[in-house]
Amino acid sequence: MSSLRRESQDEEEYWMKSRVNKSKFNLFDDNVTVENAEELAKSKKLLTQFEDDDVDTVNWDDTPVSSVTESSAISGHVVPPSASSLPKSASRPESRNVPPYMTHSRSQSESFGVTGRVSFTPSSLESVTPTVQYSKSQEKLHSLTSSSSARSLEDEIPSFISTSSGSKNLEEEIQYLKRALKKARELKFSPEDTIRKMILGEPYSLEVFRSKEEKLQLLDKAIQVHDGNAITAVILFLRQTIKPSLFNLELQRRPVAINHYLSYLRAHYDFKELGDVLGMLNRTEEAAILKYKQAISAPDVRGKMNALRGCLKAHFIHEPDLAHEANLVEQHAALLERQWPIEDTDSKSEAQGNPLFRQFPRKVSILNMPLITTLYYCCFYHGRDAENLLTSPFAIKKQHQLSDKQYVWTALSARSRLKQWTGIEELLTAKGWFGSTKKVSVIGFDKVCEILHRTSAPEEILSKYLRMIDGSERRLNIARKYKCHEVVVETLVYLRDRHELQVYASKLPPGSLGLRNAQDALRSSTIKWKT
């Protein structure tokens, strides 16, 4: 019993001696002088009051670890041991290329249930003494590190073990799919069942139909049920699986299929294939109109002109049935060729400060404008140009075969807006017999008065052309509409309607010219009124 007590006392004494006694010092106490602080710093025994436990670092041989090793272990970095702390066998030349210490990570410490750090060496460094950090509450750490130090680096890092199970499963799946495909090809699918599945939205496959006869039977069945989606799907399948010549031949024999295929091409803007199919079917008119639409869709004006000329030569000129359409395409191309230089010249003139363009600025470009708009533009800005110029309105009328009504209406509107009353009179003056002149309007003077009233023409100009309207009742109604009192009084006097003249005179403002004319007519004794 006494021997056991002695052994326990000796063991306790051994462990007490092995501890490095460190007393705690507060650098900020009042009794600590500058000299004491310097001595404490030199002896490296400064401790902070923020630590909960005293951490002592010792070797397995009960010798304290140097401060550099201590600070490195606390910070978690790996520091190789010094030569003095190693035994002689570890300081031999052949052991210089020994791998450095490995520091136990925090995650591993937490898995052990402790918070200390363990620095250990690989198993190959048997002579090197490992370093252990522990506190008072962690005195059993050496029992845990003994088991963890036996683990190598390969045990810490999981290795990828490649197995052949994935490739084996993939190979089995491929073989299964091959067998299923072979079995599906051996089965006989009828066109009726396939079309029924297509209509009902069930899964189907067209690849099982290998021969030309089966494919054509499938197309015929789709046409019989009158389902457009099924017809289109079978047509596209045929286009991908048979020769183009055979596809076109079989398609020509089925007008319903042709119409569905053309609709599909139009919906998907496949104009090249659409034009080829229309040409193959000898539907030249549709093919020509298609090419014309493609030509006018060009964004550039010069490109549009070239495309129109090419379309005219390729699709319109050589077709007798398209003579009228060819004339229209020719006029369209000629109009663009006229608009291009006019726009170029007028844009430069406007930039130079032309007074007419300054008074009436151009709102839009003349390019790509309709024919009547181009005529109005030239009548407005170039109404006096000679016929041999591109800007001449009369040259436009002549080249594009405009009627007199179209020309007079457009020119009258432009000159009325410019307040060119003399030009309007010249436009409505025609030569008579023996050099005489007379006022003639192919659109009717009622239309002339309508244009003048819309452009706020003076009353005397409007009354002048109101008197040229044929028919007293018609002239009276138009004069009342435009409130030309003088023409209304004259017309009522001409009709000898005294009662209507008295009623109308009562509505006129006092002192007006129309009222004075009405009163003079009512007082006149030479007029024979109706009873």
pLDDT tens, the chain, 531 aa long: 455 455 555 556 655 554 444 445 555 556 666 666 666 665 544 444 444 444 455 555 555 554 444 444 334 444 444 444 444 444 444 444 444 434 444 334 333 333 344 444 444 433 444 444 444 444 433 443 444 444 444 444 444 444 456 788 888 889 888 888 777 666 667 889 899 999 998 888 888 888 899 899 999 999 999 999 999 999 999 999 999 999 999 999 999 999 999 999 999 999 999 999 999 999 999 999 999 999 999 888 999 999 999 999 989 998 888 999 999 999 999 999 999 999 999 999 999 988 999 999 998 899 999 999 999 999 999 998 999 999 999 999 999 999 999 999 999 999 999 999 999 999 998 887 777 888 899 999 999 999 999 999 999 999 999 999 999 999 999 999 999 999 999 999 999 989 999 999 998 888 888 889 888 888 888 888 886
- Please list the residues that pair with 56 across neighbouring strands: 134
Residue 400's φ and ψ, nearest 5 degrees, are -95, 10
Q: How far apart are CA 350 and CA 362, in angstroms?
A: 9
Between β-strands 131-135 and 55-59, what pairing exists: parallel, antiparallel or unpaired? antiparallel
Helices (H), 187-311: 191-200, 212-225, 228-241, 244-252, 255-267, 271-280, 284-296, 301-311
Q: Are 529 and 498 in contact (CB under 8 A)?
A: yes
* Structure-token pair, residue 8: 């326990």
Quote the pTM value: 0.60
* CA distances (Å), origin 332, targets 12, 284, 299, 311: 117, 20, 16, 12
Q: Are 224 and 250 in contact (CB under 8 A)?
A: no
Half-sphere exposure of 91 (CA within 13 A, CB side): 8
